[in-house]
Amino acid sequence: MDREIEKNYDPKNLEFKWYKHWKENNCFKANKKNEKVFSIIMPPPNVTGKLHMGHALDIMCQDVIVRHKRMSGFNTLWIPGTDHAGIATQAKVEKKIFKEEKKTKHDLGREEFLKRIWDWKEEYGSEIINQLQQLGASCDWDYLTFTMDKTPNRAVRKVFTQLYNEGLIYKDKRIINWDTVLQSAISDAEVEYKEIKGKFYHIHYKVEGSDEVLEVATTRPETLYGDTAVAVNPKDPRFKKLIGKYAIIPICERVVPIIGDSYVDMELGTGCLKVTPGHDFNDFDIGKRHDLEVINILNPNGSLNSHAKAVEGLNANEARKKTVEILKEKELLVDVKEHKHQVAHGERSDSIIEPMVSTQWFLNVKDMAKKSYQSVKKGKMDFVPKQWENTFFSWMGEPRDWCLSRQLWWGHRIPVYQCNSCEYEFAFEAEPSECPKCQAHQLSQDPDVLDTWFSSGLWPLSTLGWPNKEEMEEKGFDTYFPNSMLVTGFDIIFFWVARMSMMSLKLMEKPPFKDVYIHGLVRDKQGRKMSKSLGNGIDPIDLINQYGCDAMRFTLANGCGHNRGFNLDPRLIESSRNFMNKIWNAFRFISPFLRRKVGNYSISTKGIDVPTKWILTELNFTARKMNKHLDDYRFDEAASTVYSFVYDKFCSWYLELSKPILYSDDKALVKERANILRFLFEELLKLLHPISPFITEEIWSYFYEEESIISQKYPVFKDQYQFEDDHEKMDHFIELVTQIRNLRASVGLKPKEKIEVQFFTDDKRTADFIYENRHYLDQLAQVKKGNIHKKEAGRPGKSTMSTTSLVETFIPLEGLIDIDIEIIRLEKQIDKTKKELEKVEKKISNSNFMDRAPEEVVIEVKMKAKDFSAKLEALEKNLISLK
C-alpha cells in the first residue's frame, strides 16, 4: 500500500471522481469479443425533466444487472436516451415564455416557437444526463439518443409511411378525448378518471304534438344544446310507443327524434337517455347507428360555442349552473339527486377532458395487438413478475384504435402531404419535392405532430440505428436486437411496452425483448404515492448528497422485492450508509498489513485453519446465491446476502479471529493471513460492486491502480473453497461463544472480567476443537481457562450453565450468582425445551407420520428428539443442584 486511505468515508468526492474516470476510460463499452450478449435500453426520461425516486429505482435495477452481466463475461450494451415528451415539454416552455414575455406560441409562430424549445432543450437537456451519471448508470454514452434525433425521426417517417400505405393509418372524423388546456387530442391511455361528486338532474323533454313528457336524467345538463335524439330501450313498455315520435329539447327548442336503442338500460336513471353524439362516446356510437346529426357545442378551450346561445362563452361549469337556472324557471327541472361519477382528466395536464368530435389520424392496431398478445402467451416475451402479463393482456385483448395526432408543435410532424394543385394526399418517408401524381411543387404538410409514444414505440430499433443500414452495422443491430430485457414501472406497460411490442413484431417479426422486468412504485414512508400536491416527494439527488449514491442504491435494492412497491423511509438509507462505513473501516483495519502486489494471484488452501475454511465456504455460498438472485432479478435477496456475508461473517467473526494472528510475531503467519484477508476483501468488493459501484471501485483502486473493478470476473462457486465439515465445526464454535457471552451477560459479568469455564461433552471432535481453539475463546469471550470433561464427571456447584446438543457449558460463580434469578432463567429454558420436545415426540408417536413422512424428515425429527431430551436432562439436573 503506498497510498493511505482517508480516515472518514466521504462518498461525495469519490463518487464524482470515479464516474468521471469510468467515462473517460471507456469502462462502459461493450466487450465485443464475448460470445454471450446482453443488451438493454434505458427508458428515456424527459429531456428537460428532473429525476425522481422512480428513476433512481429504475436505473439502479438496470445498472445492477448490467454490471453483473458485464462482470460475468457478457458482451454487454446499455443504451441511454432521452425523450422529447411532446406535451410536457411544450407546455413547460409555453408557460415560461408567457410568464417572461407575455407571448403565446401563436405570437411567435411555429418556427420561432420550435426554435425556443430546441434552445431550452440544449440548455437544460444535459441536466438529466448529469443526474443519470450521479446515479452511477454504466451505460454507453456514445449510443445516447434523443427521440427527435435524425435516426429516430427517419424511423418514425418510414414506419408512418409504411403503415399509411398499408391502410392501417387512416384519417377519420370521430369522437376523441380533447384536452381543453393543451387544446389537443390525446389517446385513451392518457386519460385518467377521477371520482367527482356531482348531481343527477332530471329534466322534462316534451313530446312533440302531445302533452306527454319524457323524464331524462343527466349529469351534464349543459350538453343538451348538442342533443340530437332521445333514446329509449325498444323493449321498454313505458316508452315503446313513443319511438318514431319527436321530442323537443328545452331551451334551444330543437325537435329531435325519439329512437329505440338497446344500449339504453331500462333500470338506470329514468330509462330515458338524451343523446349527444358530439360529446359522449356512447352517444356517438348511437348516433352512428341511427344516422344522427353531430353538433359540436364546445370551443377548443372547453367553453360553449354559438350552438349553445343561452350560455355561449361560459365554461362548462358556469354553463351547467346557468342551464339549470333556466330549466328551473321553465319548471322543466323535476329532480336533483346527489351522484358520484368518474370524470376524465388529462394524465399530464390534469385538466378536464371533453369528448369531442374531430378529425384525427388513427392507427388500426387490431392485428398488431393480436400478435403481441400471442407472443407473450407463447412465452416469447416474459413478464417478471409474471402476473403483470395480465395487465398487458387486458390492454391487448380489445384495443381501440390509437389516436396518433396531437395538435401540438413540438414532436415528430406527421409526414402526410397534400398537393396544393391536385389535392392528392400522400405520406412520404423523406422530404418530398413534388406531388407524385401531378408533379406540382406546392405541397402542404399536415400541421399536427405525432403522439410521443409513436417514436418511443420504435425505440428498441432506432437506438440501434434502424433504419439506416450503415448506422445499424456500426451500432451492431444484428448483435443487440432483440434486447435481452427491459426494466420499467407498471404504469407504462400500456403506453410503452405494448407499443414497442406491437411495432417490433410488425416490423421485425420478433418481440423487442426477452424479459420485461416490472418493478414497483416508490412511495413515502406512510405508503402514499409521492406527488407534487402532497409535497412528500424525495429527491434522489438530495439523498445522494446526504448519504452517498452507494447507500441509496443499496437501500433501493434491499427494498426491491417482487410483487410490491416499497415505502421509502430516509432512515433506511442511514443504515445502508452505516454498512458502507463498516466496509470502509474494515478495509482501513486490514490495509496496514497488506503489501501492494500487482497482478492476479491466488491463495493457497494448504494448511489453513478452520475459521479460514469456514469463511471460504461462506464466500462460496454467497457467490452462488448472488449469481442466482441477480439472474432472478431478486435485488432484495442479493442485497441482504452480500450484507450478511460482509457484516455478520466477515467483519463480526473472521476479522475478529484474525486480530491475534495479525498482531502476532510470526511474520510468515501474518503474511499468510494478510494475503487471505486481501483475497476475501477483493471478492467481497466484486460481489457488492453491481449494487454499490463507487465505494467498491475506490477500495479496489488501492489494490490495483490500473485496472477497474468493472471488468473483473464476478465471483462464482468454486469447489476448492468448499469445506463443509470445517464449516459445521466453526458454526458450532460460534454457537458456543455466543452461549458463553449470553451466560456472562445474564449474570452481569463485566465485559473485561476473565472467567473460568467447564465444558462437559462426550463428543471427541467437539472436545478437540474446543481445546485447539481455546485462545479464541479467550479473545472472544474472555475465557482465561477452560476445562473439558466427560459427561460422567461431576458438575460444579454454584454456577450458571447452558447447553447445546453436544456440549454443556458451566461458569462456576462462587458468591457472585443470584440463585433466584438463575432458577428463573433455567426454568424458562426448561419450559421452552419441554415444549419443543413435546412437539417432536408427538410426531414420533403418530404412526401416520412415521409411515408417511419421507425418511429424512423422520430421521431429522428423531435427532431433534434426542437433542432436546439431552438438553432438558442437563438443564433439570442443574436446576435440582441449585435448589
Contact 577, 551 (CB under 8 A): yes
- Radius of gyration, alpha carbons of the chain: 37
Q: Cα(394)–Cα(378) distance, rounded to whole angstroms?
A: 16
Residues 294-353 binding RNA (CB under 7 A) are 341-342
Q: By rule CB under 7 A, what string of x and - marks binding of each residue 121-140 to RNA? A: --------------------
Rounded least distance, CB 336 to RNA, Å: 11
Applying the rule CB under 7 A, the residues between 5 and 24 that interact with RNA are 8-9
DSSP one-letter string for 747-766: TT--TT--EEEEEE---HHH
Task: Report, in Å, the least distance between residue 256 CB and RNA.
Answer: 15
Classify 814 in phi/psi space as left (phi over 0), alpha (psi -120 to 50) or beta. Answer: beta
Map residues 545-584 to x or -, x wherever contact with RNA holds by CB under 7 A. --------------x-xxxx-xx-x-xx--x-xx-xxx--
Q: Say if strands 246-248 and 191-207 run parallel, antiparallel, or are unpaired.
A: antiparallel
Q: How far apart are CA 491 and CA 753, in angstroms?
A: 61
* Rounded Cα gap, residues 350 and 532, in angstroms: 12
Within 13 Å of residue 854, how many CA atoms lie on the same side as its CB? 2
Shortest spacing between CB 677 and RNA, in angstroms? 11
Contact with RNA (CB under 7 A): which of 130, 165, 387, 787? 387
Nearer to RNA among residue 142 and residue 631 (C-beta): 631
Least CB distance to RNA at residue 192 (A): 7
Helix (H) or strand (E) holding 192: strand 191-207
Residue number, 487 or 780, with CB nearest to RNA: 780
Q: Give burial (CB, 10 Å; 0-12/13-18/19+) of 473.
A: exposed
CA angle at 241 for the pair 240 and 242, rounded to the nearest 5°: 95
In the bound state with RNA, the residue whose beta carbon lies nearer, of 751 and 794, is: 751
Cβ nearer to RNA, comparing 137 with 272: 272
Q: Mask of contacts with RNA, 757-796, x by CB under 7 A?
A: ----------------------------------------
- Candidate residues 186, 264, 369, 557; the one interacting with RNA per rule CB under 7 A: 264
* CB nearer to RNA: pick between 462 and 641: 641
Of 489, 468, 460, give the one whose Cα is nearest residue 52: 489
DSSP at 321? H
- What's the grid cell of residue 801? 450453565
Nearer CB in complex with RNA: 418/575 = 575
Q: Tell me how far, at minimum, the Cβ of 389 lies from RNA, in Å.
A: 9
Q: Locate cell 432521452: which residue? A: 82
Interface with RNA includes 854 (CB under 7 A)? yes
Print the binding letters for residues 597-636 with RNA: x by CB under 7 A, - otherwise: -----------------------------------x-x-x
- 860: Cβ–Cβ under 8 A, 6 or more apart, which residues? none
Q: For residues 23 and 749, what is the distance between their CA atoms, to the nearest angstrom?
A: 56
> Is 536 near RNA (CB under 7 A)?
no
CB 245 within 8 A of CB 239: no
| Residue 405: CB minimum distance to RNA, A | 19
843 binds RNA (CB under 7 A): yes
Q: Can you tell me which of 44, 45, 271, 346 binds RNA, judged by CB under 7 A?
A: 271
The number of helices, as runs of H, and strands, as runs of E, in the chain is: 29, 29
Q: Which is nearer to RNA, 296 or 585 (CB)?
A: 585
* Interacting positions 282-301 with RNA (CB under 7 A): 282
The 63-82 contact track toward RNA, x by CB under 7 A, reads: --------------------
The residues with which 83 forms a beta bridge, in sequence order, are: 46
Among the candidate windows 75-83, 128-136, 471-479, 852-860, which touches RNA by CB under 7 A? 852-860
Q: Report how many residues bind RNA under the rule CB under 7 A.
A: 89
Among 104, 130, 165, 394, binds RNA (CB under 7 A): 394
Q: Which one of residues 750, 764, 790, 883 is an interface residue with RNA (CB under 7 A)?
A: 750
CA atoms within 13 A on the CB side of 264: 26
Binding mask 457-496 for RNA (x = CB under 7 A): ---------------------------------xx--x--
Considering the complex, state which of residue 286 and residue 503 has its C-beta at the smaller distance from RNA.
Answer: 286
Place of cell 447452558: 802
Question: Residue 799: enclosing H or E segment and its boundaries?
Answer: strand 799-803
- CB closer to RNA out of 539 and 656: 656
The answer to whether residue 364 forms part of the interface with RNA (CB under 7 A) is no
Tally Cβ neighbours within 10 Å of residue 839: 13
CB proximity list for 5: less than 8 A, separation 6 or greater: 584, 587, 588, 591, 699, 702
Report 660-699 residues binding RNA (CB under 7 A): 663
Note whether 76 and 38 are within 8 A (CB): yes
Applying CB under 7 A, which of residues 188, 312, 318, 515 lies at the interface with RNA?
Answer: 188
User: 752 or 883, CB closer to RNA?
Assistant: 752
In the complex, minimum distance from the CB of residue 870 to RNA, in angstroms, rounded to a whole number? 12
CA dihedral defined by 52, 57, 62, 66, rounded to 10 degrees? 110
Q: Which residues pair with 79 in a beta bridge?
A: 41
Q: Is the dihedral of CA 781, 786, 792, 797 positive or negative?
A: negative
Q: Which segment (498-506, 693-701, 710-718, 739-747) binds RNA by CB under 7 A?
A: 739-747
Helix (H/G/I), strand (E/B), else coil: 272? strand
Q: Is 197 in the site for RNA (CB under 7 A)?
A: no
Task: Restricting to residues 633-652, name those near RNA by CB under 7 A.
Answer: 634, 636-637, 640, 643, 647, 651-652
Query: Which position among 269, 489, 512, 611 is part of the footprint of RNA (CB under 7 A)?
Result: 269
